[in-house]
Amino acid sequence: MRYVSTRATDHTTRAFSDILLEGLAPDGGLYLPVEYPRVDAGTLARWRDVLLDDGYAGLAFEVCSLFIDDIPAEDLLGICRRAYAPEKFLDPQIVPVSELSDGVRLAHLSNGPSAAFKDMAMQLLGELFAHELARRGERLTILGATSGDTGSAAEYALLGRPGIRVVMLSPADRMTPFQQAQMYSIDDPGVVNLAVAGVFDDCQDLVKAINADAEFKRDHRIGAVNSINWARLMAQVVYYFAAWLRTGGDGPVSFAVPSGNFGNIAAGHIARLMGLPIRHLVLATNENDVLDEFFRTGVYRPRAAQQTHATSSPSMDISKASNFERFVADLLGRDGARIADLFGRELPETGRLDLSGEDRDRFGFVSGSSTHADRLAEIRATWENDRVLIDPHTADGVHVARRLLASGEVTGPVVVLETALPVKFAETITQATGIVPPRPDRFAGIEDLPRHVTRIPADVDAVRRAIDGAA
């Protein structure tokens, strides 16, 4: 499979291993496969057996093989087996699917090392980076941005890997105490945590600004772990197949997806275009509802930092969704020149994109948003009715799914993607239920450990200095 930038105006394509290390394309666009591979009913039936016989790792190998043709098959199988070794996850099924009493299903994606769905991709990325860097004899500085979950998932997956160091930007004082402790308690010269005076979007802008400096990027061997890196999306595609297969039957299923940077649901969009029977992709936001607004109106209107609310689902406090560009590329038939103009000129100049004239309905998206009160009500109801604790991000998804099921806008089996364990958001869980969420033993006392973090302004030179200083 070859890859092309969303903004490409020529026929230049790249190999998977190259874009894995490169992350963001030099023209500022995001990589996509030249075309999505198609999966037919026979393949889905075979994959049902693969999942039963070879587990999640076997399925991941099958899906990834469609996107990677420059890593030998036996190496890729080993990579998938190490990434999805059952002992790394709280459940040997890796992604179990459960059913609540009202019929809504949950696909549990947060059983991995850092207790959020980011582990599903990050464990694979860790193995892929290690394989490719060893093969090339190269080093990589991962520069990432986090609103609370990508950072710890990346640091856990990459810690101690030869030739890799991580510089992670996080929004100062906007993550929960648990999320901060997960990252800032890491005491390792290969991990540099920077707390930026700003919101997640500021951190993401800084990452993009560094990536736009071709010379600095080349000299410092900068790579990416955010969902701007195609490999993240590829890995996330796998859990849509797994969840569909575990839901049983051959018919269409709808997925409700807590959304912020649009990576989680972009993977569902890709799975659907590959042929997975998905009826609706139910996009759920919190009060930061830029994406909900787009799917309702066709107008994409990112907000400034001052208009980005600090909510009780803080990992989704995002107002500029990176992966949205990938969706627009599909919406506009991969017209690279138009994408370059929209995202490289029109959006920065006008602050909005009006795509209401385009036929976005054909992609199966419906959307909604939730408030703090909605999330509390869903967490409480799910606890009282099912004795299941869900985190506030999952509650965003459950809320929108239940609302659209009730209105008839969405029908049939709905699988909500469960994206984090409640322990990461204990205060909100306790507010909703009066219960302190259970804490896996490996996280005992992390808030009491010394912190290793440097505060910086939202300034690209401060990031450059930190990268230089960490060298």
Ligand X SMILES: Cc1ncc(COP(=O)(O)O)c(C=O)c1O
Ligand Y SMILES: N[C@@H](CCOP(=O)(O)O)C(=O)O
Among 58, 223, 260, 413, indicate the residue that binds ligand Y (CB under 6 A).
260
Name residue 368's beta-bridge partners. 284
The catalytic site residues sit at 118
Which of the listed partners (ligand Y, ligand X, none) does 258 bind, with a CB threshold of 5 to 8 Å by partner kind? Answer: ligand X
Nearest distance from C-beta of residue 231 to ligand X, angstroms: 14
Cα 75 to chain centroid distance, Å, stands at 25
User: CB–CB of 419/150 below 8 Å?
Assistant: no
| DSSP codes joined into one string, 24-67 | S-TTS--EEESSPPP--HHHHHHHHHHHHHHHHHHHHHHHHHTT
Q: Which stretch binds ligand Y (CB under 6 A): 85-93, 147-155, 366-374, 401-409?
A: 147-155
Closest CA to 289 of 396, 392, 351, 369: 369
| Residue 264 in the binding site for ligand X (CB under 6 A) | yes
Is 113 among the residues that bind ligand X (CB under 6 A)? Answer: no
> Which positions from 191 through 210 interact with ligand Y, judged by CB under 6 A?
200
Stretch in the footprint of ligand Y (CB under 6 A) among 42-50, 146-154, 245-253, 439-447: 146-154
Closest CB 164 distance from ligand Y, rounded Å = 17
Closest CA to 389 of 354, 347, 420: 420
318: left (phi over 0), alpha (psi -120 to 50) or beta: beta
Residue 63 CB coordination number (10 Å) = 24
**Interaction of residue 258 with ligand Y, rule CB under 6 A:** no
Amino acid letter at 411?
T
Q: How many residues does the chain have?
A: 471
Q: Which is nearer to ligand X, 6 or 264 (CB)?
A: 264
By CB under 6 A, residue 263 contacts ligand Y: yes
Regarding 226 and contact with ligand Y (CB under 6 A), the answer is yes
211 belongs to the binding site for ligand Y (CB under 6 A): no
Residues in region 292-331 near ligand Y by CB under 6 A: 315, 322
Q: Rounded to whole angstroms, how far apart are CA atoms 182 and 176? A: 10
Q: How far apart are CA 424 and CA 381, in angstroms?
A: 20
Question: Total residues at the site for ligand X (CB under 6 A)?
Answer: 17
Q: Judged by CB under 6 A, which of 262, 294, 327, 383 binds ligand X?
A: 262
Q: Which stretch binds ligand X (CB under 6 A): 55-63, 165-173, 314-322, 352-360?
A: 314-322
- Which residue number, 315 or 433, has a Cβ lying nearer to ligand Y? 315
By CB under 6 A, name the one of 127, 149, 289, 292 that touches ligand Y. 149
Residue number, 326 or 402, with CB nearest to ligand Y: 326
Rounded to a whole number of angstroms, the minimum distance from the CB of residue 403 to ligand X is 18
Q: From ligand X, ligand Y, none, which one binds at residue 5 (CB under 5 to 8 Å depending on kind)?
A: none
DSSP state of 285: E
In this structure, are residues 395 and 424 in contact, taking their beta carbons and an 8 Å threshold?
Answer: no
**In which order are the strands placed within the sheet that holds 105-108?**
97-99, 105-108, 414-418, 253-258, 278-285, 365-369
Helix (H, G, I), strand (E, B), or coil: what is residue 69?
coil
Residues 33-62 that bind ligand X (CB under 6 A): none
- In the complex, least distance from residue 232 CB atom to ligand X, rounded to whole angstroms: 9
Q: Which residues bind ligand Y (CB under 6 A)?
A: 146-151, 200, 226-227, 260-261, 263, 315, 322
